[in-house]
């Protein structure tokens, strides 16, 4: 695949993400599965796509400074060609400016011939005058400065500054724009972490043990995609972030128990729970989307897990058959996903302030309904991959104020110093622990 085609691939993926609000990882994988792509080109395509998404507001700020046409009037393909060209010039030292400009112009000619001069003019103008691009003043407009420099929407920066202060927020924004390592969970039903690490190294994977979860392996680099690894095909591991692995440890399931996972897809936690249970007992895994349940079934089959029963079910409806049936109930609630911006940078552009309010109502409803499945003496765990209090501790406090038959439990798992908490819940931040932003809370039904 030529250089031109890698840029064309990146362009197609970016347009797909923007037009269809597709997740970046899914859009990239969809493209790579359809085309034969070398590992080198695969890396370059990913670098271009994630680079543009991470820096989109900054790149648009540059375009606004050099374009006479208002940005919302520029065709989506041409706009993304400009973003790709500017990203290469501003951030990729190994790509010569001339190559970034020329390849962008070629792309423009194939997309809309008459706008190729427009693309050429803006990119060359930026190359000549990049030193003149000035951000808003940090002193007088700190929110605007942070928003443009780190490409996070103003409403979100404003909210985080209010919650965490300006220094923590800048650190968080910086962290959100860093590419995270891929983390996998050893399938301890089949292999130890040490033995898996050795196997992966023989397959050309550079990796190390994770710091937080005992099954975690951090992949630093590899020559081919995950799907092509023999260790993956043989079901020796599952892709999962360390913070997500902690959820199942907090749940602390025992072999032989009935576990109800009410928002289960894509199944990382359910399959982990099955591991911790030694594949003994029963896990009811539910989700509203049939195609997502199929992902759980595929993973279970590959990992050699037989105790997961998938069922399409809406968590907002009460299942009379499960009232007081569960030894342990897990709610990994649908959320804004603002803790995983490192992995899906497009999230920061798709979400709006009002979404959090709507989500918090939904989360509280799911919590109220699902709590009825917990038997007396049973455990209820609530988790999200966000860092917003409105979706996390505020929901729990409201729930506990209304339900006097549940109590917050101490999270007594052997967690590393990196995430130690003096509170009865865990709130993880990417800039503090170098893991996905996650909230985990454990409650016990006392009567």
Instruction: Give the contacts of 395 (CB within 8 A, at least 6 positions apart).
Output: 360, 363, 364, 367, 382
Residue 204 has phi, psi (to 5 degrees) of 85, 20
CA distance 95 to 7: 12
Burial class (CB in 10 A: 0-12, 13-18, 19+), 410: exposed
| Calpha distance 266→298 (Å, rounded) | 10
What b/e string do you get for 48-61 counting C-beta neighbours within 10 Å, with b at 16 or more?
bbbbbbbbbbbbbb
Token readout for 117 is: 């001069």
Q: Work out whether the CA dihedral 300, 306, 311, 316 comes out positive or negative.
A: negative
Instruction: Judge whether 385 counts as a catalytic residue.
Output: yes
- Residue 78 region by backbone torsions, left for phi larger than 0, else alpha for psi between -120 and 50, else beta: alpha
- CA 310 to CA 296: how far, in whole Å? 8
Location of structure tokens 């995609």: 225
Options 207, 263, 335, 385, the catalytic residue? 385
Neighbours of 193 (CB within 10 A): 19
Q: Which residues are catalytic?
A: 385
């Amino acid at each position: 695949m030529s250089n031109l085609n890698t840029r064309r691939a990146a362009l197609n993926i970016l347009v797909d993400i923007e037009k269809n609000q597709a997740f970046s990882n899914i859009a990239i994988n969809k493209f790579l599965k359809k085309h034969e792509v070398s590992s080198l080109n695969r890396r370059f395509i990913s670098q271009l796509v994630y680079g543009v998404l991470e820096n989109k507001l900054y790149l648009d700020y540059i375009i606004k400074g050099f374009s006479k046409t208002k940005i919302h009037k520029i065709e989506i393909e041409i706009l993304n060609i400009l973003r790709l060209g500017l990203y290469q010039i501003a951030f990729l030292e190994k790509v010569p400016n001339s190559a970034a400009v020329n390849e962008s112009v070629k792309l423009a000619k194939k997309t809309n011939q008459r706008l190729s001069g427009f693309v050429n003019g803006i990119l060359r103008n930026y190359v000549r005058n990049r030193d003149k691009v000035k951000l808003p003043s940090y002193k007088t407009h700190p929110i605007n400065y942070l928003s443009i420099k780190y490409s996070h929407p103003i409403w979100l920066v404003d909210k985080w500054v209010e919650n965490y202060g300006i220094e923590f927020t800048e650190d968080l924004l910086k962290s959100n724009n860093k590419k995270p390592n891929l983390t996998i969970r050893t399938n301890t039903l089949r292999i130890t972490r040490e033995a898996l690490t050795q196997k992966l190294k023989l397959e050309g994977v550079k990796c190390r043990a994770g710091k937080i979860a005992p099954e975690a392996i951090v992949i630093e680099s590899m020559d081919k995609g995950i799907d092509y690894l023999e260790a993956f095909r043989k079901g020796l591991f599952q892709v999962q972030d360390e913070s997500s692995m902690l959820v199942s440890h907090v749940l602390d399931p025992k072999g032989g128990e009935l576990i109800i996972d009410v928002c289960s897809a894509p199944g990382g936690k359910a399959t982990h729970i099955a591991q911790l249970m030694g594949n003994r007992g029963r896990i009811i895994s539910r989700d509203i989307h049939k195609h997502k349940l199929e992902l759980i079934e595929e993973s279970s089959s590959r990992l050699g897990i037989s105790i997961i029963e998938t069922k399409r079910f809406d968590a907002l409806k009460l299942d009379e058959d499960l009232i007081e049936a569960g030894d342990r109930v897990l709610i990994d609630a649908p959320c804004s996903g603002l803790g995983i911006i490192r992995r899906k940078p497009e999230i920061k552009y798709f979400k709006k302030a009002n979404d959090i309010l709507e989500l918090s109502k939904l989360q509280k409803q799911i919590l109220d309904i699902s709590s009825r499945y917990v038997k007396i003496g049973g455990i209820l765990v609530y988790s999200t991959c966000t860092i917003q209090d409105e979706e996390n501790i505020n929901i729990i406090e409201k729930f506990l104020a209304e339900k006097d038959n549940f109590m917050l439990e101490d999270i007594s798992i052997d967690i590393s110093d990196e995430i130690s908490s003096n509170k009865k819940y865990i709130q993880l931040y990417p800039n503090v622990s170098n893991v996905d932003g996650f909230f985990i809370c454990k409650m016990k039904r006392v009567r």
